[in-house]
């Protein structure tokens, strides 16, 4: 079983290396198939391993295995450990499964790009990193995966590196993630100092013994890492920019897998967070704020992928709320369903963009329903799932989170509950704003000029792009049935052992009640969107609810977070660096001890040369004065 | 029998022979490369035979100048072996690059590089203060000549700056060594063992100054930028890759063990300087207009960080510092070779004239990316492992120390990404468009590849190194650690 | 009846050999008028060799005082005899490279032999009369040698300047000796010492005598403020003579100074010690700083020899066994470097057909690889880089200072050395300036082979003294014991 | 009597010394030196140093002065350089140095208690006593002086002897070598050029 | 009352200073050499005076030695002057400064 996990981990790495080494010796088309095949194999391994895990008795389901000692120094020791349990299995399946589909999709999407091989190498590298992150049995190893994920994300966002905007976005993502890495690393330091180990076993066993301040500090530091990776407040600004990358990347990394790593981390570290209630509350607060803010911003975006990106941020904020409330299973469940419908939405958007020759602005779309019916259908399913319309998957998972808030019942939980419902309204509006602007209404002139012709020639897309979408559509529709309140209980049962201190589980009544409310709100949101955007008018991109220019302006500028960072950090740092270089380092360290002293000694040397004037009687004078002077000094001294 | 003496004598003699005998250019290059590869083999043999717990090994100890109590005493422990290994590798790669790039009067450059290697080995293996001084000062000569003769436009000034700094430091150290050696209780004795704990503050500072300049530790880094910028790529690689490590190594292997009391007492100062230097170098690297500037300031930052790690005086700090030195040697040597290659091929290292090189140059892009990512310590890389250890040690020392230091990691990410994108990405620069530089191939690739592969290897299993280094490095700081605990 | 004093012929055989050699040379020259005068040089070399042979044969004999208390023949005397003879041989080899030697070689050799006789005598002098006579013997010979190139205005000028200033120096010395005679009633060293020991401390007459004697001797070693003649004389004199002056004169004058301080003036150490400390510091500082701005290489080396004199004074101040040993080794190490360096300059003057400046020597190192490399080694030796004899010399001097509580003087010396490195480097940089094209082609000319032999010999000595200095240190130690015992 | 002679001789010595250093004409200076050394010989006689006084007159007047006069005659009017100096600070400092030296020495000798002069026998200062000292205790010095004088004679020949026929200066020798060298190089350069033109493909 | 030692020494000191100042002020090489002779003479006076005081002949012997050496030095000095004249150099020591700095 562990062998399979190792294999699943090694396969994408091997794929990446193979692609990098073979390079142009590999036919361009072959690269995609090779990468996809690797992913399929990895998925198969994961699936079989999961089945084998399921056959084990409950208490033997957490398996640890060390390949070799990775790093040691003094008492500090990190093994190359894998930790395979139920949570790992879920993540493995999501990463390899969705990953496989996206690989296949990419074959079509990237066709004709001259850098195809590089793309698939990066994709495989990403999957390896993500797998390392989820199977790691040691916090340091998790951090390694954590960082490598960021690296692959950087590479993929900046894949089209000729575009300065893409490179800028990639750098931004990397730096933000590096901040998160540092936070995570600091948390690991603290845990090592307190517990003497960074392996999960030791940390889980020792978490309870930590005093509450230490536990809170460690948890908050880990949370910094989670926030950066999952693009949550206040480290979220990189995610919308990350849409500069190719669409499959957005689907894989910025929807299904990487950005959910923060949720995974919190769920994984639940014994620690359990010991740090303040940290959990912080997570809830951040989650609520994030889901509202991201939903609001999504209302006014015009880039199709950015809308989905903000939606992703918002949905992950839901997951944060879930894990923050202690309903780890609900958070992971939402992660699971979200992976399907969000990947689906991105891939659908990718098909649209493909058909429009790269156009991403929703104002240049419209009316595509008739041209691309299959895509429309699939995306509709995805959108409904996102809004949480019964019986699609998103509803079950989101409502599980909200109803958990009911179960918890603290004031904060109530806030979360209300916030979540408001968020659901926003979700309905922005999702169907997207759908209406893209697929309904009258075709924009650009779309009219491009889309019908493209579809006529190539169909809605190559089958390698469509089939993954179909599969995901199916998944988005049905995976929610794993956990139908009162009926099925698979997900909770499966994940229950990962939280030794127990998980919050709402009652079926709470869940159904919430579902009722949430679905109504969602439908209301759709209706509002219909009211606003289905009618033809001259300003479709405007969210006309907020008439104040201030709100519009603020939302369009994403509530000024980027500007804040620029003014608060970037510019001062740039200025400081320039100042130090020009006015401090060069003169003080560079000039003064070398040229400065050199100038001084040269001046002294020339002064001495002046005395050495070549006139012999002047030399004699110096000698005479020297003798007289020495004599005087010594006679005075002797006297 | 191959011992540490072999490591020193063979490249020294070979270097002098190659320097003097006017071989044909190619022949001299191949001979030098052969010797350098032989050294790699010899060091590999040492690594294979090394017993981590057995202290100093492969040593020789013989009378040299008995009148002064000076012995030819050389041996390698884990730390020294790690440094020697990386030196052998870096020098071989630098020679390979030089051979490929082709210089006028090759035999002289190659001979001098081999001589440098010999002196470096001497520094890393010395067990006698006199021997140590010979290596420490001796390596300066060939490097200076290499810089002064084969350097860039502004080489004169660079040379003078290097001399002004380094000579000053080492000569004061010489006086300190004399004091230690000649005032030994049982007559003159220059062995390091006899000097442990005997120094006073002045002697300590004389040593510290020399090492700080060589490292370079903030604020004594003024010579670095001109030296690194004006050297030819292979010399810059040796200079920043391994020669500067002599300073860091000396802090760990000489200063701290010899002066446990002072090291513990003044540790705070070195920690502070290391911290400032780490951030300072990173900030300045961020504003450099060319690749070498970035790498030079990142070297300052990294070496300051190493000093910080050493003066934490615990196992993670010292092992991490050693490991970090190895990593940085590989990274900066490779980056300098690459930056130098770029300058030759694209006509300039100026960012404004570069850019867009990744387009249709997959090998260059891959190698540069791997190195860049290693340099910015992407988690999972070997540099990450070493920085992690140092930061962990810093955090254990004081939480705020580790926290502030970790800012440097983020800054490192920023300047390395700037370098990568300025060179590889975005629009093609003017010079790139005009000169159409080729992809990284043949000799230049072969020279950089071993360094990159070594980095990858160390990323896969860093413990292979740390396990060998750890007992030695812990031993080195144990005395000072005891003092620190006692305070 | 006048009782003839006991003259131990064997004890003064070296001097006799030199004088016989001089006479022979002159006689042969008379016979060979108009024909090849190289014979004179050969006889000169033979005379030096015989002289050195006698001295070596007598090495280790019990010290004697001969010719009625006038001359001490001990290890120190023998050492100086050997050193001076060595310098003489090397100088004659170098001088052969000078075109004038074809006409006036015999006279040159003869006067060089006279000068050498004076130098060996001064080292063994046991009274101020002997000291003065010996001093004048070599001084006047040197005036002649400096002006030997009658066709060169610079040479005549340097000879005249040296004569005027040198005579003033000598007069000051005699004047001082007269006052000491007045104070103690004796010119004999032991008599003076005994008289001074009885004299009331700080007596003005004694102070007067001591200051004047010191001034006279400091003039000869070229210490501040009596150094003014050095640059002009060194620059103007024929280059081989300059080398001889820098090497042999320095040895003789320093040994004489050391003997005078250790024997007659030992009781008044309190009087002269502060003088020498001030002079030493000033000499090191001024010599080094002034050398920094020189463009004429000979002149620069003249200033550097002033600085070296300051360094030697440190050893004199330290005194005792360690200081004297260091002094002797330092002087012995300095000699081949000086002669070698000036030999290289001789070669360059031939190649360049003119004086040696930083401008004219540009890129010359590439044209003459061997001489260039040798020059680098000599300059590094001056600068005190390891593995050269110069390093060991400075090491011993600084070591003796540190050992006996004069560490700050060692630090001053070290700082001076840093400046020194800067100007030696200027020469190296110029010699290997790739941007310049050497206008000089290595030309074969008669006599150059012997110059090369001399350079090779010097090179061998410099490196041997740096790598295996044990014999030299023992040897210097044995010779120096005389001075240590005298106090 | 002794006092009068002393002061007279001392006065003459000083005046003649001043004449030596102040006269524009070196011939007059030389005569001043003559007066100076005769006065000094007188003072030495007062100090019972008859032999030295005699030697003073003989050596100086007989040898040194003659040489001086010959050379002065040889050089002629070119040897006349006026006392006027172009460096005022040199004058000031020279006088300061001279005064410092003289005052300090005078101060020292007048503050030192020398005690009574030793009693001496008749032989003191005579040729016998001095000669005996010379060939016994100071044999080496004696021989040394003779070697120096021998060497000086050789030197005098080298420096002042009549010019040898057609002797080139060093600069000329070097220049000649240089010309030969330049010719050689020009020839080889021409040969290389010719070879290049013959094979244009090979030229770089 | 006889003339004491200090008188002689004072005369000698004065002569020494005069000679010294002569060297320092005069530009003619010949006069410079003559001034040096004055200094040498003054030293000789000192030696002889001390010799009388001490009562040994050492000082007188030294004076004779000095005389001999002065002769040798004059030979060389005058030889140099002759050689300079032959090379048609200006006989002005202030002009003898082809080397300086």
> Looking at per-residue confidence, does E81 or B434 come out higher?
E81
Q: Which residue in B104, B126, B141 has the most chain C C-beta atoms within 10 A of its own C-beta, making it the best mutation to test that interface?
A: B141
Structure confidence at residue D204 (pLDDT): 35
Q: Does the structure show a pLDDT above 90 at B105? A: no
Asked if C463 is an interface residue toward chain B (Cβ–Cβ < 8 A), one would say no
| Furthest C-alpha separation in chain B | 70
Instruction: Mention every residue, 6+ apart, whose C-beta is less than 8 A from residue C234.
Output: C158, C242, C245, C246, C298, C299, C301, C302, C305
Q: Do A71 and B462 form a contact (C-beta atoms < 8 A)? A: yes
Q: Which two tokens stand for residue C228?
A: 């003014």
pLDDT value for A69: 87
Residue C426 burial by CB count (10 A; 0-12/13-18/19+): exposed, middle or buried?
Answer: buried
pLDDT of residue C444: 57
The whole-angstrom separation of Cα D23 and Cα D137 is 42
The conformation of residue A76, written as its DSSP 8-state character, comes to E
Tokens of B333: 């040597």
Say what the ipTM of the complex is: 0.88
pLDDT in tens, B145-157: 888 888 888 888 8
**Poorest-pLDDT segment among A426-440, D94-108, D189-203:** D189-203
pLDDT digits (tens, 9 = 90+) for C226-280: 999 999 999 999 999 999 999 999 999 999 999 999 989 988 888 899 999 999 9
Q: Residue A391 — pLDDT band, cuts 50, 70, 90?
A: confident
Backbone angles phi, psi at C261, to 5 degrees: -70, -35
Residues of chain C with pLDDT under 50: 487
Strand ranges (E), A557-620: none
Residue B120 in this model has a pLDDT that exceeds 90:
yes
A78 or C143, which is more confident: C143
Contact C132, C70 (CB under 8 A): no
Closest CA to B160 of A585, C338, A599, C296: A599
Q: Which chains form contacts with chain B, at 3 or more CB pairs under 8 Å?
A: A, C
Give the integer Cα–Cα distance in Å for A367 and A345: 17
pLDDT attached to residue D166: 46
Q: Which two tokens stand for residue A400?
A: 């599980």
Tell me whether A132 touches chain B (CB under 8 Å): yes
When pLDDT is cut at 50, 70 and 90, the band that residue B193 belongs to is confident
| Beta-ladder partners of A136 | A82
Residues 364-383 of C with CB under 8 A from B: 366, 369-370, 373, 376, 380
pLDDT of residue D203: 36
**How far D166 CA sits from the closest chain E CA (Å)?**
14
pLDDT digits (tens, 9 = 90+) for B372-414: 888 888 888 889 889 999 999 998 888 898 889 888 888 888 8
A23 has a chain B CB within 8 A of its CB:
yes
- Report strand pairing: A63-73 vs A76-84: antiparallel
DSSP A36-74: HHHHHHHHHHHHHHHHHHHHS-GGG--EEEEEEEEEEET
Q: What is the assigned CATH class of domain E5-86?
A: mainly alpha
Q: What is the share, in percent, of chain A residues with pLDDT greater than 90?
A: 3
| Yes or no, beta carbons of D101 and A617 under 8 Å apart | no
What is the token pair recorded at B137?
A: 């000062």
CA dihedral B96, B99, B100, B106 (to 10 degrees): 150
**Chain D adjacent subunits, 3+ CB pairs under 8 A:** A, C, E
**Whether pLDDT at A628 is above 90:** yes
- Confirm if A482 and A93 have CB atoms less than 8 A apart: no
The D residues from 129 to 188 touching E (CB cutoff 8 Å) are 129-130, 132-134, 137-138, 141-142, 144-146, 148-149, 151-153, 155-156, 158-160, 163
Question: Is the distance from CB of C397 to CB of C269 less than 8 angstroms?
Answer: no
Task: Report the alpha-carbon distance of residue A523 to residue A531 in Å, rounded.
Answer: 12
Q: Give the residue-averaged pLDDT of A301-316.
A: 87
Query: Which of A320, A339, A317 has its CA nearest to residue A328?
Result: A320
* CB-based contacts of C443, cutoff 8 Å, min separation 6: C350, C351, D177, D181
**Nearest CA-CA distance, residue A635 and chain D, Å:** 9
Total count of domains within chain B: 1
Q: Give strand pairing partners of B73.
A: B61
Token pair in block for residue A565: 């960072």
- How far is it, in rounded angstroms, from Cα A616 to Cα E95? 10
Mean pLDDT, chain A, as a whole number?
84
CB-closest option in D87, D96, D104 to A631: D104
Question: Quick one: pLDDT band at residue D165, thresholds 50, 70, 90?
Answer: very low
Q: In chain C, which residues have their Cβ closer than 8 Å to the Cβ of E53?
A: 182
Among C117, C150, C241, most D C-beta atoms within 10 A, so best to mutate, is C150
How far are the Cα atoms of A24, A32, A100, A461 from residue A37, in angstroms, in the given order? 19, 8, 8, 21
Contact call for residues B410 and A175 (beta carbons, < 8 A)? yes
Question: Where are the alpha helices (H) located in A242-392, listed in sequence order?
Answer: 247-251, 261-268, 270-274, 277-298, 304-324, 328-355, 368-371, 373-387
The phi and psi torsions of D31 (rounded to 5 degrees) equal -65, -35
Report, as an integer, the average pLDDT of B242-267.
90
Residues of chain A numbered 596-635 and touching chain D (CB < 8 Å):
615, 617-618, 621, 624-625, 627-629, 631-632, 635
What tokens were used for B425?
């990405």
Domain boundaries, position B64: 4-486
Q: Is E96 on the interface with D (CB under 8 A)?
A: no
The DSSP 8-state label assigned to residue C432 in this structure reads T
Q: From the CB coordinates, do chains B and E have 3 or more pairs under 8 Å?
A: no
Q: At D172, is the pLDDT very low, low, confident or very high (cuts 50, 70, 90)?
A: low
How close is the nearest chain D Cα to the Cα of A607, in Å? 17
Q: What is the pLDDT of residue D198?
A: 58
How many other C-beta atoms lie within 10 A of the C-beta of residue A198? 24
CB atoms within 10 A of CB E29: 28
pLDDT for E66: 93
**Interchain proximity A631–D96, CB inside 8 Å:** no
For residue A615, the chain E residues in CB contact (below 8 A) are 93-94, 96-97, 100
Among the ranges given (A83-97, A326-340, C433-447, C453-467), the one the predictor scored with the smallest mean pLDDT: C433-447
- Tell how far CA B339 is from the center of its chain: 17
Distance CA A530, CA A524 (A): 10
Quick: pLDDT tens for A98-127.
889 888 888 888 887 778 888 888 888 889
DSSP state of C266: G
- Mean of the per-residue pLDDT values for chain B? 87
Q: Is E31 on the interface with A (CB under 8 A)?
A: no
CB B248 within 8 A of CB B306: yes
Tell me chain D's radius of gyration from C-alpha atoms. 30
> What is the value of pTM for the model shown?
0.89
**Among candidate residues A493, A486, A484, the one with its CA nearest the CA of residue A507:** A486
Q: For residue A613, give both structure tokens.
A: 């004037």
Give the pLDDT confidence score for residue D161 in this predicted structure: 67
Q: Does C398 touch chain B (CB under 8 A)?
A: yes
Using the 8-state DSSP alphabet, how is residue A254 labeled? I
Distance from CA of A591 to the nearest CA of C (A): 16
CB atoms within 10 A of CB C30: 9
- The CA–CA distances, whole Å, from B435 to B13, B102, B432, B441, B482 equal 41, 20, 5, 17, 60
Taking 80 as the threshold, does the pLDDT of residue E28 lie above it? Answer: yes
Cβ–Cβ of E25/D21 closer than 8 Å?
yes
Q: Which of B275, B130, B260 is nearest to B190 (CA)?
A: B130
Closest E-chain CA to C168? E36
Cα torsion for B284, A221, A251, A448, to the nearest 10°? -70
Record: contact E16-D101, CB cut-off 8 A? yes
3-state SS string over chain E? CCCCHHHHHHHHHHHHHHHHHHHHHCCCHHHHHHHHHHHHHHHHHHHHHHHHHHCCCHHHHHHHHHHHHHHHHHHHHHHHHHHHHHCCCCCCHHHCCCCCC
Tell me which chain D residues have a C-beta less than 8 angstroms from the C-beta of C348.
none
Q: Do B159 and C425 touch (CB under 8 A)?
A: yes
Is there a contact between E76 and D133 if contact means CB atoms under 8 Å apart? no
State yes or no: chains B and D have 3 or more CB pairs below 8 A.
no
Least CA distance to D145: which residue of chain C? C133
Average pLDDT, chain C: 88
| Interchain contact, C403 vs B183, CB within 8 Å | yes
Phi then psi for B228, rounded to 5 degrees?
-70, -30
Tell me if chain A has a CB within 8 Å of the CB of C40: no
Q: Using one digit for the tens of pLDDT, what is the confidence trace for A468-485?
A: 888 888 888 888 888 887
Distance CA C74, CA A490 (A): 107
Q: Nearest CA of chain D to the CA of E43: how many Å?
A: 11
State the Cα–Cα distance between residues C298 and C239, nearest whole angstrom: 8
Helix or strand (DSSP H, E) at A84: strand A76-84
Residue B71 is given by DSSP the state E
A and D touch with 3+ CB pairs <8 Å, answer: yes
Question: At residue C406, what are phi and psi to the nearest 5 degrees?
Answer: -105, 35
Nearest chain E residue (CA) to A609: E101
Question: Does residue B348 have a pLDDT over 70?
Answer: yes
Mean pLDDT, to the nearest integer, of B448-465? Answer: 89
Nearest alpha carbon to residue C405 among C224, C277, C254: C277
| Whole-number pLDDT of residue C21 | 93
pLDDT tens readout for residues A557-589: 777 888 888 888 888 888 888 888 887 887 777
Predicted local confidence at residue D175, as pLDDT: 67
Report the pLDDT averaged over residues E88-96: 78
Average pLDDT over residues E53-65: 88
Give per-residue pLDDT as tens, C130-153: 999 999 999 999 999 999 888 888
């Amino acid at each position: 079983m562990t062998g399979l996990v190792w294999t699943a981990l090694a396969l994408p790495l091997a794929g990446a290396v193979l692609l990098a080494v073979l390079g142009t010796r590999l036919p361009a088309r072959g690269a995609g198939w090779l990468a996809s095949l690797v992913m399929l194999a990895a998925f198969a391994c994961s699936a079989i391993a999961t089945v084998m895990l399921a056959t084990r008795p409950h208490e033997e389901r957490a398996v640890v295995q060390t390949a070799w000692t990775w790093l040691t120094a003094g008492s500090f020791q990190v093994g190359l450990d894998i930790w395979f349990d139920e949570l790992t299995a879920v993540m493995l399946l999501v990463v390899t499964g969705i990953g496989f589909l996206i690989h296949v999709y990419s074959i079509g999407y990237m066709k004709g790009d001259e850098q195809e091989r590089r793309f698939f190498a990066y994709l495989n590298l990403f999957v390896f990193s993500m797998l390392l992150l989820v199977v790691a049995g040691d916090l340091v190893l998790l951090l390694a995966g954590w960082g490598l994920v960021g690296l692959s994300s950087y590479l993929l966002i900046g894949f089209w590196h000729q575009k300065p905007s893409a490179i800028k976005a990639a750098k931004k993502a990397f730096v933000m993630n590096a901040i998160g890495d540092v936070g995570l690393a600091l948390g690991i330091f603290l845990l090592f100092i307190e517990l003497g180990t960074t392996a999960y076993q030791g940390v889980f066993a020792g978490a309870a013994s930590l005093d509450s301040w230490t536990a809170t500090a460690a948890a908050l530091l880990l949370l910094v890492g989670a926030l950066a990776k999952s693009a949550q407040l206040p480290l979220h600004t990189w995610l919308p920019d990350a849409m500069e990358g190719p669409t499959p990347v957005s689907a894989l990394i910025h929807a299904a897998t990487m950005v959910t790593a923060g949720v995974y981390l919190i769920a994984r570290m639940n014994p620690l967070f359990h010991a740090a209630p303040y940290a959990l509350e912080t997570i809830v607060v951040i989650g609520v704020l994030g889901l509202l803010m991201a939903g609001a911003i999504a209302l006014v975006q015009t880039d199709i992928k950015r809308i989905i990106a903000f939606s992703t941020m918002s949905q992950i904020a839901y997951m944060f709320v879930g894990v923050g409330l202690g309903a780890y299973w609900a958070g992971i469940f939402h992660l699971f369903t979200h992976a399907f419908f969000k990947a689906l939405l991105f891939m659908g958007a990718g098909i649209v963009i493909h058909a429009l020759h790269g156009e991403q602005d929703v104002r240049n779309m419209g009316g595509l329903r008739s041209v691309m019916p299959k895509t429309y259908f699939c995306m509709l399913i995805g959108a409904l799932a996102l809004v949480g319309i019964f019986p699609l998957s998103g509803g079950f998972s989101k409502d599980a989170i909200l109803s958990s808030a009911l179960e918890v019942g603290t004031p904060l939980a109530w806030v979360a509950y209300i916030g979540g419902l408001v968020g659901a309204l926003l979700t309905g509006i922005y999702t169907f704003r997207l759908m209406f602007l893209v697929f309904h209404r009258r075709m924009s002139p650009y779309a009219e000029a491009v889309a019908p012709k493209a579809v006529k020639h190539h169909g809605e897309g190559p089958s390698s792009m469509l089939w993954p979408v179909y599969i995901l559509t199916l998944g988005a529709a049905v995976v929610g049935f794993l956990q139908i309140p009162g009926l099925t209980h698979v997900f909770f049962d499966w994940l229950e052992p990962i939280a030794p201190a127990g998980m919050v589980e709402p009652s079926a009544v709470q869940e159904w009640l919430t579902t009722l409310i949430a679905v109504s709100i969602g439908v209301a949101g759709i209706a509002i969107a219909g009211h606003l955007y289905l009618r033809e008018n001259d300003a479709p991109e405007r969210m006309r609810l907020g008439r104040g220019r201030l709100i519009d302006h603020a939302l369009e500028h994403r509530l000024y977070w980027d500007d804040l960072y620029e003014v608060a950090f970037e510019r001062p740092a740039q200025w400081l660096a320039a100042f130090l270089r020009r006015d401090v380092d060069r003169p003080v360290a560079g000039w003064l001890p070398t040229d400065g002293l050199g100038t001084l000694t040269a001046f002294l040397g020339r002064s001495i040369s002046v005395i050495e004037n070549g006139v012999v009687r002047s030399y004699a004078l110096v000698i005479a004065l020297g003798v007289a002077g020495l004599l005087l000094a010594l006679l005075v001294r002797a006297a | 029998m191959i011992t540490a003496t072999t490591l020193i004598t063979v490249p020294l003699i070979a270097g002098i022979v190659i320097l003097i005998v006017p071989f044909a250019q190619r022949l001299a290059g191949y001979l030098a490369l052969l010797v350098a590869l032989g050294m790699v083999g010899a060091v590999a043999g040492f690594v294979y035979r090394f017993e981590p717990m057995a202290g100093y090994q492969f040593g020789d100890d013989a009378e040299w100048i008995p009148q002064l109590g000076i012995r030819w005493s050389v041996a390698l422990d884990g730390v020294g072996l790690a440094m020697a290994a990386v030196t052998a590798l870096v020098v071989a790669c630098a020679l390979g690059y030089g051979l490929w790039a082709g210089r006028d009067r090759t035999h002289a450059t190659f001979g001098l590089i081999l001589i440098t290697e010999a002196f470096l080995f001497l520094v890393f293996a010395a067990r006698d203060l006199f021997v140590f001084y010979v290596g420490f000062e001796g390596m300066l000569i060939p490097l200076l000549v290499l810089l002064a003769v084969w350097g860039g436009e502004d080489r004169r000034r660079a040379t003078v700056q290097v001399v002004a700094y380094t000579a000053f430091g080492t000569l004061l150290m010489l006086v300190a060594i004399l004091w230690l050696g000649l005032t030994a209780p049982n007559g003159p004795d220059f062995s390091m063992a006899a000097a442990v704990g005997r120094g006073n503050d002045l002697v300590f500072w004389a040593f510290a100054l020399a090492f700080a300049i060589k490292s370079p530790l903030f604020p004594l880094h003024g010579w670095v930028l001109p030296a690194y910028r004006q050297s030819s790529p292979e010399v810059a690689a040796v200079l920043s890759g391994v020669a500067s490590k002599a300073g860091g190594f000396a802090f760990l292997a000489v200063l701290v063990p010899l002066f446990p009391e002072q090291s513990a007492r003044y540790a705070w100062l070195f920690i502070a300087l290391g911290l400032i230097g780490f951030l300072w170098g990173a900030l300045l690297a961020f504003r450099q207009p060319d690749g070498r500037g970035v790498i030079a300031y990142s070297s300052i930052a990294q070496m300051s960080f190493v000093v910080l790690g050493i003066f934490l005086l615990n196992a993670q700090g010292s092992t991490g510092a050693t490991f970090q030195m190895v990593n940085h040697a590989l990274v900066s040597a490779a980056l300098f070779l690459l930056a130098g290659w770029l300058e030759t091929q694209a006509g300039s290292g100026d960012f404004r004239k570069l850019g867009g090189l990744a387009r249709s140059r997959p090998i260059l892009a891959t190698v540069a990316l791997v190195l860049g990512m290693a340099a910015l310590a992407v988690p999972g890389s070997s540099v990450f492992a070493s920085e992690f250890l140092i930061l962990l040690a810093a955090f254990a020392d004081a939480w705020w120390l580790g926290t502030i230091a970790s800012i440097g990691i983020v800054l490192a990410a920023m300047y390395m990404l700037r370098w990568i994108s300025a060179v590889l990405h975005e629009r093609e620069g003017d010079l790139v468009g005009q000169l159409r530089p080729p992809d990284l191939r043949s000799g230049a690739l072969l020279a950089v590849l071993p360094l990159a592969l070594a980095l990858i290897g160390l990323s896969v299993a860093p413990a292979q190194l740390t396990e060998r280094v750890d007992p030695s490095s812990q031993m080195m700081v144990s005395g000072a650690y005891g003092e620190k605990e006692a305070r | 009846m006048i009782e003839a004093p006991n003259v131990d012929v064997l004890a003064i055989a070296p001097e006799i050999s030199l004088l016989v050699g001089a006479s022979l040379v002159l006689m042969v020259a008379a016979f060979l008028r108009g024909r090849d005068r190289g014979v004179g040089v050969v006889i000169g070399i033979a005379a030096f060799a015989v002289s050195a042979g006698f001295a070596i044969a007598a090495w280790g004999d019990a010290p004697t005082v001969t010719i009625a208390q006038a001359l001490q023949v001990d290890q120190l005397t023998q050492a100086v005899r050997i050193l001076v003879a060595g310098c003489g041989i090397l100088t004659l080899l170098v001088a052969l490279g000078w075109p004038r030697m074809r006409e006036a070689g015999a006279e040159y050799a003869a006067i060089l032999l006279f000068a050498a006789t004076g130098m060996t005598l001064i080292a063994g002098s046991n009274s101020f009369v002997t000291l003065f006579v010996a001093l004048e013997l070599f001084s006047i010979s040197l005036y002649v040698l400096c002006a030997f190139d009658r066709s060169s205005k610079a040479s005549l000028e340097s000879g005249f300047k040296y004569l005027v200033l040198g005579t003033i120096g000598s007069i000051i010395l005699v004047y001082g000796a007269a006052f000491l005679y007045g104070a103690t009633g004796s010119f004999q060293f032991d008599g003076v010492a005994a008289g001074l020991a009885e004299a009331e401390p700080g007596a003005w007459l004694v102070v007067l005598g001591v200051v004047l004697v010191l001034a006279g001797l400091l003039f000869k070693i070229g210490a501040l403020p009596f150094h003014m003649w050095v640059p002009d004389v060194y620059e103007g004199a024929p280059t081989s003579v300059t080398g001889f002056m820098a090497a042999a004169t320095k040895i003789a004058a320093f040994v004489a100074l050391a003997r005078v301080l250790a024997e007659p003036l030992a009781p008044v150490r309190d009087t002269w010690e502060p003088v020498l400390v001030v002079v030493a510091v000033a000499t090191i500082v001024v010599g080094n700083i002034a050398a920094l701005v020189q463009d004429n290489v000979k002149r620069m080396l003249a200033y550097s020899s002033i600085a070296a004199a300051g360094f030697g004074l440190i050893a004199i101040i330290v005194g005792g066994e360690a200081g004297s040993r260091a002094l002797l080794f330092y002087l012995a190490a300095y000699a081949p470097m000086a002669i070698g360096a000036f030999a290289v300059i001789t070669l360059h003057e031939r190649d360049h057909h003119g004086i040696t400046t930083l401008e004219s020597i540009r890129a010359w190192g590439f044209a003459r690889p061997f001489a260039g490399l040798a020059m680098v080694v000599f300059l590094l030796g001056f600068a005190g880089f390891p593995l050269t004899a110069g390093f060991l010399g400075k090491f011993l001097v600084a070591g003796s200072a540190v050992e006996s509580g004069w560490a700050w003087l060692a630090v001053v010396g070290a700082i001076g050395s840093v400046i020194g490195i800067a100007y030696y480097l200027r020469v190296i940089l110029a010699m290997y300036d790739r941007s310049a094209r050497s206008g000089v082609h290595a030309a074969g000319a008669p006599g150059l082979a012997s110059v090369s032999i001399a350079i090779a010999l010097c090179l061998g000595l410099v490196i041997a003294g740096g790598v295996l200095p044990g014999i030299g240190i023992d040897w210097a130690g044995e010779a120096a014991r005389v001075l240590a015992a005298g106090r | 009597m002794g006092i009068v002679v002393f002061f007279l001789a001392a006065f003459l010595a000083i005046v003649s010394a001043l004449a030596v250093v102040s006269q524009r004409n070196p011939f007059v200076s030389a005569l001043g030196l003559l007066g100076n050394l005769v006065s000094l010989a007188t003072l030495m006689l007062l100090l019972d140093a008859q032999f030295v006084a005699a030697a003073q007159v003989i050596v100086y007047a007989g040898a040194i002065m003659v040489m001086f006069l010959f050379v002065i005659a040889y050089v002629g009017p070119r040897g006349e350089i006026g006392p006027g100096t172009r460096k005022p600070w040199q004058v000031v400092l020279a006088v300061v140095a001279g005064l410092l030296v003289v005052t300090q020495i005078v101060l020292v000798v007048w503050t030192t208690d020398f005690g009574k002069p030793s009693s001496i026998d008749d032989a003191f200062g005579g040729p016998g006593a001095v000669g005996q000292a010379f060939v016994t205790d100071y044999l080496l010095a004696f021989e040394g002086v003779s070697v120096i004088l021998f060497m000086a004679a050789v030197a005098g020949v080298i420096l002042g002897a009549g010019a040898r026929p057609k002797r080139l200066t060093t600069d000329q020798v070097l220049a000649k070598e240089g010309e030969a060298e330049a010719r050689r190089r020009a020839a080889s350069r021409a040969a290389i050029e010719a070879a290049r033109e013959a094979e244009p493909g090979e030229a770089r | 009352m006889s003339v004491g030692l200090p008188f002689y020494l004072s005369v000698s000191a004065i002569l020494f200073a005069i000679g010294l100042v002569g060297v320092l002020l005069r530009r003619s090489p010949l006069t410079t050499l003559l001034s040096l002779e004055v200094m040498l003479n003054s030293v000789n006076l000192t030696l002889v005076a001390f010799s009388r005081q001490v009562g040994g002949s050492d000082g007188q012997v030294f004076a004779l030695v000095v005389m001999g050496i002065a002769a040798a030095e004059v030979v060389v000095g005058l030889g140099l002057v002759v050689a300079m004249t032959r090379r048609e150099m200006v006989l002005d020591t202030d002009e003898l400064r082809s080397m300086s700095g």
